[in-house]
Structure 1
Amino acid sequence: MQNSETDDIRTAPPKILVLGATGGTGRLIVSQAVARGYDVSVLVRSAEKARDLKGAKLIVGDARDEKVLRQALKGRDAVVSALGTRASPFREVTLLSTATRALTSAMQIEQVSRLVCITGLGAGDSVGHGGFLFDKLIFPLLLRRVYADKDRQESIVRDSGLDWVLVRPSVLNNKPSRDTIRALTDLSNFHGGGISREDVARFVLDQLRADAWLHRSPLITW
């Protein structure tokens, strides 16, 4: 899907909506976007938790509500989804797929085409590439249900008809940013790694104005 919003992103500071803005990576996406001069709106469930998101317009609402999303999308050029959910070893997880289904529908209606969506190492064909500890213990014991929903989320994005990029970070840390980020789709020789939230935020924002990874699912790591 291509429209005038795509051109606006390239020629002027983009007007973006961020979901998941109160999470560890989401906060860095917001602060970096504001530092770049972007016009940033965030959809949050709690205004109290978002009080420190300086420079962003706060919209309070549920990311699973299509009507709320449509209002939040008014005047936006692009969306960054940094939605996450806690590990859930026993209960079914549906938040990510439910919110993404509502989001993509709302974006189609409001004619906002660019979507950069963070999922993670272990989603789709990146499963089994996290290294022994992640693949054999953490994933099956703690994250299996979360990643089943991430898989549903990715499928919804792929079928949306939008201009999407699915970003799969390796294991996240809070270390300082590095100069080089590796973006991989051939994972045959990749067996675990890490990346800082700062670098994830930087890579995600770069995808708003570049097409190198359009309709692709890069795993990003150091």
Structure 2
Amino acid sequence: MTILVVGATGATGRLLVEQLLSRGKSVKAVVRSPEKLPQAVRNSENLTVIQAAILDLSDAEMVELVRGCTAVASCLGHNLNFKGIYGQPRLLVTDAARRLCQAIKANEPAEPVRYVLMNTTGNRNRDIPEQHSFSEKAVTGLLRLLLPPQRDNEKAADYLRREIGQNDRSIEWVAVRPDSLIDENAVSRYEIHPSPIRSAIFDPGKTSRINVAHFMAELVTGDELWQQWQGQMPVLYNQEAE
């Protein structure tokens, strides 16, 4: 089992790589700066590092990149600075999802490849009736206009929902939606819901990055959880202390 991780040096991506390696899985990691990976990770014999910006790869290189992979996990995101938010590429997550999925299809895999997208609870799942107040819709619409990363997250999930859909022969997918991300040192108890149970705008919950990484690793390596959530957009919250 080989899993491709893109966005592998991000705050969540590096944790996902560690989770997968700890399970004894072979990992390909696409990174622009390998030195951002922890030394212990870089030294793992199960890790193959591809130094590149994902969208700079040619179509042929992309096809070769995903060949033999049983899963692709995208932890891509935009840096939270002016250049990262308003600079190019504005559709990093969407364009990467589209090109990676096209590359998977070009390989004609014998079994569907799992594509796990790290998304956000600020994005609705339009495949099911999720209830949002007028105020939430208004704020989300404003964010969509003002913040390119919001549009990017929405378009990436929409690509999986609409273009890949539920019956693709080559690709199955899950879009993971954490709420407000925080840093914790260890995996803790967390809850998984089909839809948000609180307002991402006015009453956000908390989700630790290491819990997101753990859930994504469980999805790409296990069958029971995958069968439960494939084709859906589960929402993660840290379990609150009673």
TM-score w.r.t. the length of structure 2 is 0.74
Give the Cα separation in 2 of the matches to 1:114 and 1:68. Answer: 20
Work out whether residues 116 and 164 of structure 1, in 8 Å CA contact, stay in contact via their aligned partners in 2.
Answer: yes
Give the Cα separation in 1 of the matches to 2:144 and 2:150. Answer: 12
Residue 67 (structure 1) aligns with? 60
Residue 2 (structure 2) aligns with? 15
Residue by residue over 1:13-62, the C-alpha shift from the partner in whole angstroms, topping out at 9 and shown as x without a partner, is x2111000000100000011101111111112233434733322101223
Structure 2, unpaired ranges of 5+: none
Deviation at 1:166, TM superposition (A): 0.5
Deviation at 1:195, TM superposition (A): 1.1
- Output the aligned Cα RMSD: 2.9
Residue 151 (structure 1) aligns with? 154
Give the Cα separation in 1 of the matches to 2:187 and 2:37. Answer: 27
Greater shift, 99-108 or 111-120, is seen at 111-120
Residue 81 (structure 1) aligns with? 74
Deviation at 1:176, TM superposition (A): 3.6
Work out whether residues 63 and 103 of structure 1, in 8 Å CA contact, stay in contact via their aligned partners in 2.
Answer: no
Work out whether residues 121 and 196 of structure 2, in 8 Å CA contact, stay in contact via their aligned partners in 1.
Answer: no
Closer, same or farther: CA 91–43 of 1 in aligned 2, 3 Å: closer
TM-score w.r.t. the length of structure 1 is 0.80
Amino acid at match of 2:78: T
Give the Cα separation in 2 of the matches to 1:61 and 1:90. Answer: 21
Structure 1, unpaired ranges of 5+: 1-13
Residue 163 (structure 1) aligns with? 172
**Identity percentage of aligned residues:** 26
Residue 99 (structure 1) aligns with? 96
Amino acid at match of 1:180: R
Task: State the SS of the aligned residue for 1:59.
Answer: strand
Counterpart check, 1:124 vs 2:124: yes
Closer, same or farther: CA 108–78 of 1 in aligned 2, 3 Å: same
- What is the number of residues matched between the two proteins? 205
Amino acid at match of 2:50: I
Give the Cα separation in 2 of the matches to 1:69 and 1:50. Answer: 22
Task: State the SS of the aligned residue for 2:104.
Answer: helix
Task: State the SS of the aligned residue for 2:93.
Answer: helix
Give the Cα separation in 1 of the matches to 2:172 and 2:103. Answer: 14
Work out whether residues 43 and 72 of structure 1, in 8 Å CA contact, stay in contact via their aligned partners in 2.
Answer: no
Amino acid at match of 1:122: G
Amino acid at match of 2:232: R
Task: State the SS of the aligned residue for 2:228.
Answer: coil
Closer, same or farther: CA 185–79 of 1 in aligned 2, 3 Å: same
Task: State the SS of the aligned residue for 1:212.
Answer: helix
Give the Cα separation in 1 of the matches to 2:145 and 2:183. Answer: 21
Closer, same or farther: CA 70–143 of 1 in aligned 2, 3 Å: farther
Task: State the SS of the aligned residue for 1:207.
Answer: helix
Amino acid at match of 2:115: L
Deviation at 1:71, TM superposition (A): 1.6
Deviation at 1:69, TM superposition (A): 2.1
Task: State the SS of the aligned residue for 1:24.
Answer: coil
Closer, same or farther: CA 168–127 of 1 in aligned 2, 3 Å: farther
Work out whether residues 198 and 205 of structure 2, in 8 Å CA contact, stay in contact via their aligned partners in 1.
Answer: no
Residue 29 (structure 2) aligns with? 42
Deviation at 1:86, TM superposition (A): 2.2
Task: State the SS of the aligned residue for 1:115.
Answer: strand
Greater shift, 154-163 or 96-105, is seen at 154-163
Give the Cα separation in 1 of the matches to 2:68 and 2:236. Answer: 30
